[in-house]
Amino acid sequence: MELKYTNTTPAWLIYAFVITTATLVSTTMLSIMIATCVLPHVESIAKTESVRLAKDSPHEDMIFYIDLAWFLANNVSIFFFIVDVVLLCWIQFPAPAAISATAIMIPVLILLCVFSVIFYRKTVTSQIHLADQKIDELRALSVKLKIDHVNGDSESSNGDFIVDMPSSRRYAPRPSVF
């Protein structure tokens, strides 16, 4: 679409449009770059059965960048796209059409923000729940290995795998950036 504006178009409207468009393109490109660089590596590590490879994988250290890519692609870019459409309507079309577009897009923008917060909170809650389940499974395994070791059952454990995890200690997941 070719941007046509008249001399009566306020300069601040043009500046706002240029800034939101540049920010939209920048955040989208950054999120695509992060996703392209990080996510294939995470997927390849997830498909391996080697504990050593999974432990040595940098994706745990890069959780900030993974969260950032998700946030940029799913929230910031969509937000700026909606703002861009509204600004474009004010530049290109007469006031009644621009008001109509704004009246439609503002509720969409609010719903996007509300949905994003709810979805992200549910995702984080689920991740915490899964981490708690894994810790409980490790505790149960630790107890079983200790019992097998005390009973002298050499077939089920050789003593090297006993994990001493205090039952009162709960591991909190690493806080996310958002």
Q: Which residues, in sequence order, are CB contacts of 124 under 8 Å at separation 6+?
A: 176
**pLDDT tens column, 12-42:** 999 999 999 999 999 888 888 877 877 777 7
Which of 19, 16, 27 lies closest to 87, judged by CA?
16
Q: How many other CB atoms are found less than 10 A from the CB of residue 106? A: 12
Q: Torsion over CA of 132, 134, 137 and 139, rounded to 10 degrees? A: -70
What is the rounded average pLDDT of the residues 92-118?
A: 92
Q: What contacts 24+ positions apart, CB below 8 Å, involve 126-129?
A: 127/173, 128/173
**pLDDT tens column, 43-98:** 676 666 666 665 666 666 777 777 777 788 878 889 999 999 999 999 998 899 99
Q: What is the spatial distance between Cα 66 and Cα 61, in angstroms, rounded to a whole number?
A: 10
- Which residue matches tokens 């509204």? 86
Q: Where are the domains of the chain?
A: 11-92
